Structure formats: C-alpha cells, structure tokens
Structure 1
Amino acid sequence: GVDEEGVMAAALGAERLGLPHNPPAAVARTRDKAAMRRALAQADVPQPRFALLDAGADVAAVAREVGLPCVVKPLSLSGSRGVIRANGVAEARAAAERVRGILAAADEPAGTPLLVESYLPGREVAVEGLLRGGRLEVLAVFDKPDPLEGPYFEETLYVTPSRLPTGVLAEVEALTARAAGALDLREGPVHAELRVDGERVSVLELAARSIGGLCSRALRFAAGVSLEQVILRHALGLGLEDVARESTASGVMMIPIPRAGVLRAVQGLKDARAADGIAGLEITIARGRPVVPLPEGDRYLGFLFARGASPDAVESSLRVAHACLRIRIEPPAAGAR
C-alpha cells in the first residue's frame, strides 16, 4: 500500500496471493499509535514518553505523567491531523477537547482514547525505505527545514539528501531499522518520522507505506524509475538490482493552507514555475472548494517540486517559488458548512 487507507488491504491481499508481505497484525500496529508505542517500548526503541487518555480521564494527571510540554493526538488519523502541542495543563485540556471534536468530525467512534506524549525538541527528518526479507534498504532521508515546534505540526518542506552529520545520519537509519523490526514489519515500503536533538535520535512514527500525497515525485531512482515502480517491482518479485536514488538533490513543498474559507484563486503560478530549479507545481484543490488548515484539515493546497546541485539550492528554489504564489481565500458564505 502507498497510503494509510490501503495498507491493511494490501497486506491481506498479498497474503492470499502468496506475494511478499507484512503480517497483517504488524500492519495493524502501524495504524494504531498506542499499539505502535507499546511495541517500540517493548523493544527499547527511543521514543517520547506516552500515556493513553481515556474518555473522562483526568487530562492534567496524564499530562503531568508524561511531562510538559506534551503533545495530544488521536490514535488513528494521519498527516498531523489532530496533533496539538500543549505547554501547560490548561492547554492540554483544551487540546484534548479539540482533538475529540476533530475525531467526531471524522466519524470516529465516540469515547476513543487519545494519546498523550512528551514533546521532543529538535529537528525532524523523514526516512523512506524498502524492507526486503526483514532488511531495511534506505532509499532517502529527507530534512524538514521548517521548525515543527507546534502548536500544530504542519509539514511543508522535504529536502534530500539530508544535511545531518554522517554519524547522526547512520543512527537515524539504524533506528528506523530497529523500529521496523520491533513492529515485525518485513516487506515493502516504510515511511518513518524521527526527531534529532544533537546526537540523540528518537522515533516519532513509522508507517508501512511510502511517502504520502504527491511527494513521491521528489524521488527518482536509476534509469528514471519512480518510487511506485520500485515498490511494485518488489511486490511482484521482480528484479531490483539498483535502487540507488539519483545523485541530484531534490525536494518537495507541501503548500500549506493559510486559513479556512473558500479557495477563490491561486495567482503567480507562471512565476513560480519559472523559478530556478523548479521541476513541477500542482494545485490539488479546485477553485470554489472549501479549505481547512491543520489541525482540523486533512490536505494541502498543492505541491511544489525542485531539483538542484545541492540541498541548499533545492530549499532556496522551493522558498522562492512559494513566495511567488498569491493565495486568495474568502470567508465561507453565512450559514455554509
């Protein structure tokens, strides 16, 4: 599977067809943040302190248990939806109430527990990998240059190769492999999020899928092969002699939604596409459609792609192109939902 909704169906289908696959129970653990945390804790994988917040439980007590600042999040949603930092007890209570409202809007069962985690400082990176027979082959490590410090955790820039020191990068890759093993994942794509604070590396999440949305377009492999082609060749048992990423630096910007309302226009597209290093621009929400930012929202306005001689050049290209865009969002009509 290459998205959160498809991973369980992919595991069950591959099991019936006799194709390389992950145990469905392992995939289920990646879909439940509490089950994931327990599995990682059992294997002593570095991660945030955590506790479940049951409906009606004392938010203040749970927040103090994991330590402040903390992060309140749902067990099931993805893409940073419903993930909120709280610096104190009052903020933790407000965050829990807001997350429960987001879950209700997503038609999740009432009374579902929430996850409360200690906030980990540091830079965030993403690892794209492929498991073959339980061995992790790292395909790319992305830096996330924009700080992800809360109160919401909207991802914007992904740039590869990472600019982390060699030793820290090796620890990121090794810890991703440990986390995959702790979850009993054995085959196929993985996408991991980790925090790096100096030389300390911790796992935030690991999914049994590839990078989401259109972000995979930022990656190309030998002979111009796409990430999806790599995943399909592995799933079908076809040859994968060379899955090295192209030598050119690359990156993607997930264009954030600045405020709620109705999208009326995105101007400056021609100038953005003409910016040095830009390889593509896709606006994925149609004009006239409602837009909602995180933490309630579940999508981005679109995607910018860049390639260049270095990660710094790619990051600069994405920022320059984004600055060209003029996004016009109007308040929704009175009484509209």
Structure 2
Amino acid sequence: MNFAATRVTDPAVFGRVAVLMGGTSSEREVSLDSGRNVLEALRSRGVDAFAVDGIPALIDAIRADRVDRVFNILHGNKGGGEDGVLQGLLEALGVPYTGSNVLGSALAMDKIRTKQVWLSLGLPTPRYVRLEKGADVHAAARELGLPVIVKPSCEGSSVGVSRVFNDADLDSAVELATRYPGELLMEQMVVGDELTVGILGDGTAHRALPSIRIVPKGEWYDYNAKYIAEDTQYLCPGLEGDAEAEIRRIALAAFLAAGCTGWARVDVMRDRSSGKFYLLEVNTAPGMTSHSLVPKAARQVGIGFEDLCWRILEQAVEAPTMEAAPK
C-alpha cells in the first residue's frame, strides 16, 4: 500500500491552526486526551497550533481572526464535533477543517440511517430494530432473537451500550441507553472477532489501512478496554490474504457510501461461524489517544503519529477525491 508523499512541506502554509477538542459531549475526556496528543505532534513539526476547548471558544477565536483552519478532534454529538453542526458552522464562515463534511458527519453519527444507506447498496450490517419511544422492546428482541445489542443511535466510544443475553435484562439496557439523546437501536449481536479499519485520504484518493483485530481481556471491547485498560491486545493486520483484502474493500465502500471524506475509522464484526463481515459504524473523528486504533494501523504502513497528524491537517488545505484508489 503506497500513500502519496505529503503535499505541504512548509508548516507556515497551514497558518494558525485551532486544534478543537473537549466540548460538552459524553466523550469530552477522550477528546481532550486526543487533542493534547495532536497539538503536541503538530507543534513538534513547526505548525502554529493552539488548543480550543469547545465550539463557543472556537467561534470567539474565529471572530478574533485567530484561526486559519481547524483540526477537529472534537468527539461525539450535541456539543461535539461529529454530527455535522460544527461542519456547517465552519462552512458558513469559510474556515477550512479536517475530516468529513456536513453530510458525511451527520449521516455517520446516526447509526440507524447509516445502516439504511448501507443496506440499500447491499453492504452487510447486522439486522436491527429502531426503537421509538414507548416501543415494546421485548417484542423487538423476539423479532431479532437474543442475544442483542441495545445502544443509543447517536453516541460513540461504547457509551450507553449494553449486551443483552436474557429477556429480563432488556429493560435496564433500554434505561441506560435512554440517558443519551437521540433514538435507540437494537441490533442482532454478532458473535466473533471485533475488527476496525482506518481510512485515510492522501490527496488523490482514499485508502483503507491494515485492519486491526481487537482482543480485550474481558468479555467485550467496552469503554474501559478502549481507553483505560492496558491489557487489550491489538493485532495488525488483523487478518490475512483474501479476508484482509475483503474487509478493507467493505470498509472503504462503507466510508464512501456514507459520504465521508478525509479520514475515519470503520468498525466491523466477523461472524465466528460463517466468517462473514458485518459493518457496525463509521467514526468520522476517531480517537488519537495512546490506545487509539488509526495511529496503530498507520504505523503498519510507515506513517508515524506526527506524520499522520500532518497528513490529516493537509486535508484542510486541499481535500482528496471521494473515489477509491485504483487497485
């Protein structure tokens, strides 16, 4: 896998870069950690970068004419930076930014509508039921068949997610998920390997990075395993041969179908019995912490953390095309 050389050589080209982090979403602490790492990496390469905590502070900085472009590492929705609201604001103000545009950000944040797009194109995703307020969750579980996953449709980082194996546990799972805004999603649980594929644009096209197979110490890859535990194993590439080629193909197709651009991470399950892949979601502002997965995959193709941050920032200078690279 060959990525094009970086297009910008002089950090002065970027001007004043606001590294947007923190905010008020449920993923605030992860975003702050990611943002600190990105800020340090950009400054180490001579970029005039500074931290901004949340959208109101960013608006103030833009009004003060202190911002030439934005490196968005704000996670989540409703005060976060992944649901299209921030992107629409920056588009209206004419400020370049990293990552997906309004459409890609808003669609990918909504897991239900992302699934609807994927299914319309024949891309594989687990069977699901959209849970409206007052819905009979027990009937929905019978329709899908236990075990199921219950989660908010518009949250990330495994926030509000429950694995349900028994009918008696459904109500508590729904109660947890309803603490977060948006609709609820009940999804058929896929038993097997949990994998993720980073997508990175290089100025000419988007390419899928090597997959990562995640092996948590506990039963599943929850918030603790993602951001706190030190005993989670990450195998990269996660697969070999035709299986690795197929998961990269599906992940890139899922990214493009959702209208995403720049960079992202696509989460996938592989059914243990059939070997079939199932798409779960696209994260359009992935974490950049010490535990995060896109940096791990990028290292496999010779892109270190500082180089990765530089390449992502280049997207705010000239966006890559949405077409996949030639095979």
More strand by share: 1
Answer whether contact 1:34 1:75 (CA < 8 A) is retained: yes
Q: Which residue of 1 aligns with 2:37?
A: none
Q: Which amino acid aligns with 2:90?
A: G
Structure with the greater alpha carbon radius of gyration:
1
With a CA cutoff of 8 Å and minimum separation of 6, indicate the structure with the bigger relative contact order.
2
1:177 and 1:76, CA in 2 relative to 1: closer, same or farther beyond 3 A? same
Report deviation, 1:43: 1.5
Report deviation, 1:190: 0.9
Q: Which residue of 2 aligns with 1:159?
A: 234
Query: CA separation in 2, counterparts of 1:18 and 1:146?
Result: 38
Question: Does 1:116 pair with 2:191?
Answer: no
Q: Which residue of 2 aligns with 1:191?
A: 265
Query: CA separation in 1, counterparts of 2:155 and 2:88?
Result: 19
Give 3-state SS (helix, strand or coil) of 1:180's partner. Answer: helix
Give 3-state SS (helix, strand or coil) of 2:225's partner. Answer: coil
Mind listing any 5+ residue stretches in structure 1 that lack a counterpart? 240-337
Describe how 1:261-280 pairs up with structure 2 within 5 A.
none
Give the stretch that moved more between structures: 38-47 or 221-230: 221-230
2:280 to 182, 204, 222: 204
Give the stretch that moved more between structures: 83-92 or 222-231: 222-231
Query: CA separation in 2, counterparts of 1:81 and 1:224?
Result: 26
Q: Which residue of 1 aligns with 2:73?
A: 2
Report deviation, 1:114: 0.9
Q: Which amino acid aligns with 1:229?
A: W
Q: Which residue of 1 aligns with 2:159?
A: 81
Answer whether contact 1:86 1:92 (CA < 8 A) is retained: yes
Q: Aligned residues: percent identity?
A: 23
Question: Does 1:99 pair with 2:172?
Answer: no
Give 3-state SS (helix, strand or coil) of 2:255's partner. Answer: helix
1:128 to 173, 198, 209: 198
Report deviation, 1:12: 5.0
Query: CA separation in 2, counterparts of 1:141 and 1:217?
Result: 12
Answer whether contact 2:269 2:278 (CA < 8 A) is retained: yes
Question: Does 1:229 pair with 2:304?
Answer: no
- For residues 184-239 of structure 1, the C-alpha deviation after alignment (integer angstroms, 9 at most, x for no partner) is 22x21111111112531111111222334342664544577432112012322399
Q: Which residue of 2 aligns with 1:13?
A: 90
Report deviation, 1:6: 2.2
Answer whether contact 2:213 2:236 (CA < 8 A) is retained: yes
Mind listing any 5+ residue stretches in structure 2 that lack a counterpart? 1-71, 227-231, 321-327
Give 3-state SS (helix, strand or coil) of 2:159's partner. Answer: coil
TM-score of the superposed pair, with normalisation by structure 2: 0.61
Give the stretch that moved more between structures: 168-177 or 135-144: 135-144
Question: Does 1:174 pair with 2:255?
Answer: no
Answer whether contact 1:193 1:206 (CA < 8 A) is retained: yes
Query: CA separation in 2, counterparts of 1:205 and 1:238?
Result: 23
Answer whether contact 1:48 1:118 (CA < 8 A) is retained: yes
Describe how 1:136-155 pairs up with structure 2 within 5 A.
136-146=206-216, 149-150=219-220, 154-155=224-225
Report deviation, 1:148: 7.1
Answer whether contact 1:129 1:140 (CA < 8 A) is retained: no
- For residues 226-263 of structure 1, the C-alpha deviation after alignment (integer angstroms, 9 at most, x for no partner) is 32112012322399xxxxxxxxxxxxxxxxxxxxxxxx
Give 3-state SS (helix, strand or coil) of 2:267's partner. Answer: strand
Query: CA separation in 2, counterparts of 1:148 and 1:205?
Result: 22
- For residues 285-324 of structure 1, the C-alpha deviation after alignment (integer angstroms, 9 at most, x for no partner) is xxxxxxxxxxxxxxxxxxxxxxxxxxxxxxxxxxxxxxxx
Q: Which residue of 2 aligns with 1:58?
A: 136
Answer whether contact 1:124 1:148 (CA < 8 A) is retained: no
Query: CA separation in 1, counterparts of 2:153 and 2:96?
Result: 31
